[in-house]
Amino acid sequence: MHAVAFCVVLLSIRAEVSLAQTEQLPDGMTIESLRVSPDTVVFSSPFASTQILVTGILSDGRTLDATRMVSLDPSSSIAIVKINSELRIEPKTAGDGMLIFRLGSAETRVTVNVAFPSTETPADFIRDVQPVLAKMGCNQGTCHGSAQGKNGFKLSLRGYDAAYDHRALADDLGSRRINRADPQQSLMLLKPTGAVPHVGGMLTKPGEPYYEILRTWIDRGARLEANAVRVSSISITPQNPTILLPGMSQQFVVIAQYSDGLTRDVTREAFIESGNIETASADPKGVVKALRRGESAVLVRYEGAYAATTLTIMGDRTGFEWAGTPPVFNEIDRLVDAKLQRVKTLPGVLCSDAEFLRRIHLDLVGLPPTPVEVRTFLADNRDTQIKRNEVIDRLIGSVGFVEHWTNKWADLLQVNSKYLGEEGAWAMREWIRQAVATNMPYNRFAYEVLTASGSTLENPPASYHKILRQPDLAMENTTQLFLAVRFSCNKCHDHPFERWTQQQHWSLAGYFAQIGRKEHPDAMGQKIGGDAVEGATPLVESIFDTTSGVVKHPDTGLVVSPTFPYQHDDHAPTTDPLRRQFAHWATSSSNQYFARSYANRLWSYLNGVGIIEPIDDIRAGNPATNPELLDFLSSQFIASGFDVRHALRLICSSRTYQLSVATNQWNEDDLVNYSHAIPRRLPAEVLFDTVYDVTGATRSLPGMPSGSRAAQQRDTKIATPDGFLDLFGRPPRESSCECERVGGVMLGQALSLVNGPTVADAIAQPSNEIARIVSVQPDDALLIDDLFVRVLSRPATSGEKTAASGVFGGWEADREKISAAFEKTQARIPELLLELQNRPRGPTQWTAIIPTAFTSKAGAESTISPEGIVSVHGKLEKDTYSLQAASAVGLVTGIRLDVLADPSLPAGGPGRAMNGNFVINTFALNLISTNSAVPPKNLSLTHAKSDFDQQGWAIAGAIDDNITTGWAVMGGVGKNHTATFELVEKEGIPQNSPFAIVIDQQFSDGTHALGRFQLFVTTDVRPLERTPLPEAVAGALAVPAGDRTADQIKTLADFIRSNDPEILAATKALADHEATRSRARLQDAQDLVWALVNSPAFLFNH
């Protein structure tokens, strides 16, 4: 009978419409079966809702979200529930029923029971109203949850303070927002329904769940139940799902667990967000859509509770195979491979030995390997894993390792003379260096920093509390540094992305409230820092624990008791100072964040990306990309006794760390699963030190000993003149946040590398290794290889050698040409020796000439004596004298002009000017043809010599074809003077041939003309200037050619080489070429190094 009745009910509520299917099954996929969750739904409240999740199982075993693909069978029971296209169901009326979903031939069923209590279910403010206000956006930061509220109405951000919000709604302004007598007329219902103007628009309407929840709450008195059950945790389903292709979606379901143990589907009110909006997008209904292949954290929050999972978007992986078994060096590789197999990503190949050697040196010691280390390592033919592990062991703990890792902790602990003074900064850095050098266990290191007392100079870790002076700031810095938890985000309100509350922030800050500071007697009166906001502090302080000091909640003003935000089983005695209690709790192996945070930090330092990223932001909403890997590293770190070197060795010896940056078809889009290495731009200090290391130049940093590394800086005041370190992202050391260090590439950095002084000075330093290598390596090909090994830590490839050889080319061809010219001049030595042997050795023989005619362009007159002396008188102005004569002594090779003093001339002459001077602007010689139709031929004169020249008026000016120059003798007037001119080779005046002498005198005052002079000619062999031969040369010439000794022959040849203009020119050209080639080869080498330093191969750690 009951079965028949039930069937009648089913038939009476038979569905007439089907769901609107918003997604379709992709082509080529076949559904074998369906799975539904939950398969039974029970409603006991009219305000409840349940999100149905239908999973399709494909013929190949893969699964997909079929929630928006299924249809609702017409026989389903829809009279008792409402159901939308996302399969969210809400109760309508009491009863039992069945929902049947189909996709193709597959089906699945959900049993539904709606059983309302006999009395109307009250809506609770905390359980029901607050989630509705949040989902409608009323208490968000862009609306009434902002710091100032909106239009006079303020709610706590995201509803973290229920009491405050209840007062704002039910009590403020005379309860004008609530009408208990007529709930529908309440302002908090009229506004969101659009019945009265509302900036936020219409958010709900009568009859909808949210409206009815608010109405029912007001109708029941708008009470606040302070003891109402609250959400204790939430979970998200499915966990770690995979979406097969971009464009497909995944429905998520959120279940809240309450403090009374009950659970509830809160998907409708929960906030679900994508952690990577480039990979996936989320809508308000809890549906996440795949945009491209990759991974994204899916974050969910509800009423102060948070959860997360990781969504994988597989994409088309047709043809993927886990090819072979990649080598597993240690457990790290097995855990990485497990994740890679799951996301169908193929790991890359091992990096080359050269790549590994450079990478491990830069990561562990902050310096590149030496050329000797490179060539030795590459020549080692042993198993690569063996020799690589030996390098790791050798570098860990080395001097360079200590300096490099000291600098990292000096950044994190804010070693800065701005806070500590120079002596304090040096002391703190030295303490860190000793801790690194002795491999102090990490938990002890952190504990000593947090608990150090005494003088900041005598016990330097006490400086930590000199820098961080306020309890809240000290707590925030400490938790971010040592636990990777950002408690600064819950300072003014509850954490927006995590479970931490504002109350927990101030409770934890209480552990830093009883730290005393007093001026150290050895530095009384000495201050540091101070500005308009904060006063100066003592330069040196003593840090100690006190028994007084409290923290008050900023909102209530009440004293907050120091309390840990989460518990573990390892606590210090409560009688210990508060600071020691906190340090013990924080650094304990039982603390879930302590080992985990530093293991993640070390992984990031060595691999370029953290397992959790950012590395100092661990929270539920920021899950690890490989939780199993992080768990393993953390457990190993703890098991080793917090041995940092053990952790580094474990990571560096893994295959994962040693993979190449080269990608393959199956991992080219991977940036988070460690299937290949990620290039990392060298940090500022490493880059600076490496530039100087590869060039072999001497570092010079202000305030530091010559040769000191940038990694040895005491603080950020130490800087190069061009600001190189700051430009490349050196942190200012004003907080412990890793975000202080900048690792990207910017235009200013590129310009600094191209033309900045840091790189240029290192390359050009005269005594650097580039200059030394060029001087000792004559072979260009080997030089190129040496430079590649030095700068990039690897030999040059054949293609690189070919390209680089063009930089050094062109010199040999030029040398052959210049050498040929030089040898040609050397071959003339016998000929020049014969000329030297036949050259006249006495003084030049001059013969006076008697001019046959004299003319003056100005009209002056002359008298010519029988000896040929010409005296000029009469008209005086700018003038040109022309004289004609003939020589009866043979081929004339030179001419001499004697200017003669005479008492009849002003100041004794030889000029006619009042001061006795003259200016000959041009002295010329013309050969006169016997054929009057042929114009005179100008004969070129050279080698002008005189016995006296007025300053600025040398004799050479008389034959330079420049009318503004000339010969004058001021300073030597009243005396005779002589000038000689040589006719150029191959020119001369034949015997008895007429010629003319032209003397042009154009000085500006018109009076500087010659008054008395005489002319002579010679037929001697040129050159006319007879310099006495050195005694050894003259002696050798006196010996007959056949009887000369080898030394005499050499003496004569050397004399010719050092005096013949052509030989001298050729010798100089060859020497200049060799010198230029040497300089240019060095320049070429420097240019090559500059190009390599500016290449990604150098700037990045591969």
402 in a domain, yes or no?
no
**H or E stretch covering 1016:** strand 1012-1018
Residues 111, 98 contacting (CB under 8 angstroms) = yes
pTM of the model: 0.76
Are 138 and 267 in the same domain?
yes
Domain boundary among 961, 988, 1018: 1018
Query: Residues 539-554: pLDDT tens digits?
Result: 999 999 999 999 999 8
pLDDT value, residue 533: 65
Residues 1098, 687 contacting (CB under 8 angstroms) = no
Residues 85, 283 contacting (CB under 8 angstroms) = no
Query: Residues 350-398: pLDDT tens digits?
Result: 999 999 999 999 999 999 999 999 999 999 999 999 999 999 999 999 9
Please determine, for residue 906, whether its predicted confidence score (pLDDT) is greater than 50. yes
187 in a domain, yes or no?
yes
Please determine, for residue 1060, whether its predicted confidence score (pLDDT) is greater than 90. no
pLDDT value, residue 532: 62
Which residue, 809, 805, 810, is CA-closest to 787?
A: 805
Q: Is 1083 helix (H, G, I), strand (E, B) or coil?
A: helix
757 in a domain, yes or no?
no
CATH code, 963: 2.60.120.260
Q: Comparing 208 with 3, which gets the higher pLDDT?
A: 208
Question: CA-CA distances (angstroms) from residue 577 to 449, 571, 573, 583, 1015?
Answer: 15, 13, 9, 10, 116
Domain boundary among 565, 587, 609: 587
Which residue, 888, 817, 810, 808, is CA-closest to 847?
A: 888
Residues 600-616, mean pLDDT to the nearest whole number? 96
Residue 221 sits in which domain range? 125-313
Candidate from 41-45, 336-340, 563-567, 805-809 with smallest mean pLDDT: 805-809
CATH code, 231: 2.60.40.1080
Sign of CA dihedral 549, 553, 557, 562: negative
Largest Cα–Cα separation, the chain: 172
pLDDT value, residue 761: 94
840 in a domain, yes or no?
no
Whole-number Å distance between alpha carbons of 178 and 164 = 15
pLDDT value, residue 7: 36
1028 in a domain, yes or no?
no
Whole-number Å distance between alpha carbons of 432 and 877 = 94
Whole-number Å distance between alpha carbons of 425 and 716 = 10
pLDDT value, residue 252: 98
Are 579 and 606 in the same domain?
no
1024 in a domain, yes or no?
no
Percent of the chain with pLDDT over 70: 97
Are 958 and 819 in the same domain?
no
Please determine, for residue 201, whether its predicted confidence score (pLDDT) is greater than 50. yes
Candidate from 271-275, 297-301, 552-556, 724-728 with smallest mean pLDDT: 552-556
Which residue, 484, 726, 753, 736, is CA-closest to 615?
A: 484
Are 1014 and 1097 in the same domain?
no
1090 in a domain, yes or no?
yes
Q: Find the DSSP H helices in 777-850.
A: 780-792, 798-808, 811-826, 829-838
Overall number of domains in the chain: 6
pLDDT value, residue 373: 98
Are 893 and 1000 in the same domain?
yes
- Report which residue type is found at 5: A
Candidate from 336-345, 369-378, 694-703, 802-811 with smallest mean pLDDT: 802-811
The number of helices, as runs of H, and strands, as runs of E, in the chain is 33, 41
Q: What angle, rounded to 10 degrees, do the helices at 1061-1093 and 811-826 form?
A: 170
Residues 407, 685 contacting (CB under 8 angstroms) = yes
Percent of the chain with pLDDT over 90: 73
Which residue, 471, 460, 446, is CA-closest to 586?
A: 446
**Predicted confidence band at 1024 (pLDDT cuts at 50, 70, 90)?**
confident
1040 in a domain, yes or no?
no
Are 166 and 292 in the same domain?
yes
Query: Residues 670-679: pLDDT tens digits?
Result: 999 999 999 9
Which residue, 647, 790, 658, is CA-closest to 356?
A: 658
CATH code, 19: 2.60.40
Are 879 and 977 in the same domain?
yes
**H or E stretch covering 411:** helix 399-412
Are 916 and 1013 in the same domain?
yes
pLDDT value, residue 120: 66
Query: Residues 216-271: pLDDT tens digits?
Result: 999 889 999 888 899 999 999 999 999 999 999 999 999 999 999 999 999 999 99
**Predicted confidence band at 119 (pLDDT cuts at 50, 70, 90)?**
low
Are 854 and 1001 in the same domain?
yes
Are 438 and 557 in the same domain?
yes
Which residue, 1023, 1024, 1015, 1010, is CA-closest to 969?
A: 1010
Query: Residues 151-197: pLDDT tens digits?
Result: 889 998 888 888 888 998 988 877 788 988 898 998 999 989 999 99
pLDDT value, residue 5: 35
Beta strand pairing call for 1100-1101 and 515-519: unpaired
pLDDT value, residue 19: 65
Domain boundary among 606, 628, 652: 652
Are 901 and 959 in the same domain?
yes
Query: Residues 478-505: pLDDT tens digits?
Result: 999 999 999 888 888 777 777 788 888 9
Neighbours of 357 (CB within 10 A): 23
Are 793 and 813 in the same domain?
yes
Q: Find the DSSP H helices in 479-592.
A: 502-509, 578-587
Q: Phi-psi region for residue 810, left (φ > 0), alpha (ψ -120 to 50) or beta?
A: left
